[in-house]
Amino acid sequence: MNSAIKKSILLVIVSLSFFFQLYAQPTEQPIKLLITPNHQNWQCKVGDLSNFKIIVMINGVAIKNAKIFYQIGPERMKPFISDSIRTSDTGFMTPSCTMKEPGFLRCIVTTTWQNKQYKNLVTIGYDIEKIMPTVTKPNDFDAFWQKAKEDLSKIPTDARLTLLQDKSTSLTNVYHVSLQNYGSSKLYGILCVPKKSGKYPAILQVPGAGIRPYFPDLEMADKGFIVFTIGIHGVPVNMDQAVYNDLNNGALKGYFFFNANNRDNFYYKRVYMGCIRANDFITSLPEFDGKNLAVSGNSQGGALSIITAAIDDRVKYLASVHPALSDMSGYLHERAGGWPHIFAPNNLWFSNDTFVKQTMPYYDVVNFAKNVKIPGYYTWGFNDETCPPTSMYAAYNVIKSTKETAVYQDSGHWMYAEQKQAFNNWIIKMLAK
């Protein structure tokens, strides 16, 4: 086997591994904790009582006398109920409790079997359409971001493309791209352009959190779309994985907190402007059809998709999966806030600072969501422990434009294959208009 083939196989393995980290369901385990809520669609009204039936199973058979520990309460908050019990073969019904205001009630169950701990959870939504944000919009919010865009527009894009022949297909050319970005930094990404002469719709893919390489989305590109998949850290996105591991454990560790006490120097200012710069590049391509541009992403990328759509009117459609950075101030009001949980109790040593509290509203998805004017597709699950559904609905509920929602209640910070396909199908449908 020659070195080129070996390299291609390795790239496919790494790419698939990354795909499954983002979208695959959790792997099956021999011990199953079945938690059944008393509300069929996992939703109810404020004041309604909720309880949960818990059964511990192995090989499809209930385990007698299994010791479980369970907690019930608002997500990421101090539980209302915390107890342990041994189950019977018919299971155990928890005591009932309720929520006094809109939000999510979560039951978390753990058990230990043969020295290994197993965990499951179920989350009930209370009047979720009434969840309102805790963060307020600064009076100069729009002016702040308009000024940032004006500053960016004075910087030449200086696009440099390198053809990646080994990643290209018979239908699509793939390039590694370097752009000049805000604050003398660089923006890097992977560009896919159809080989056939013509004009094409485009998709900007914005990334989830982390430091890693990126790969071409040939599934979408080979269907006849320009696809630009960007990184946010100002480093090339086609280096060896070991380089990103070193950055993740060194210079970029905890990047989402960098300069959080200064609204002009916070890490995400360059990131948000990088999404605009990516669209500057896309719309300059001779192959772009001049009209149809969508932005999509999950988690941090779910946030960036909403943000980009709000401040760049060239975007016509947005698709967002479990958006992070939403209603981050929730913790300051005794409820869950969005990732990166900057105001969570364990981070208050850093964030319990007047300047941090003044900075975050300028970067909170909620305040961008209020400005969204285009059609959007939003999908997530109630069991997400990374991006609490309370925080996501705080942003979603203030969006006034046309919106389509696909809720997979039992999913967490991952996607079903069917969920991912429906997400892509919506983008394809909208761009084909």
CA pair distance 135, 337, nearest whole angstrom: 10
Which listed residue (299, 305, 326, 329) is catalytic?
299
Nearby residues of 147 by Cβ (< 8 Å), 6 or more positions away: none
Residues 372, 402 contacting (CB under 8 angstroms): no
Determine the residue type at 89: D
Q: How far is CA 136 from the centre of its chain?
A: 22
Look up 176 and say whether it is catalytic: no
Asked whether the beta carbons of 133 and 395 are under 8 A apart, the reply is yes
Question: Is residue 289 annotated as a catalytic residue, yes or no?
Answer: no
Residues 278-298 as b or e (16 or more Cβ within 10 Å = b) = bbbbbeebebbeeebbbbbbb
Which residue type does 388 have?
Answer: P
Contacts of 41 (CB under 8 A, 6+ apart): 409
Catalytic residue among 176, 233, 322, 413: 413
Separation between Cα atoms, residue 213 and residue 17, nearest integer Å: 12
The active-site residue out of 50, 351, 384, 391 is: 384
Provide DSSP, 23-54.
HPPPPP-SEEEEEEESSTTSEE-TT--B-EEE
Indicate if 299 belongs to the active site.
Answer: yes
CA gap 309, 318 in Å, rounded? 7
Task: Give me the active site residues, please.
Answer: 299, 384, 413
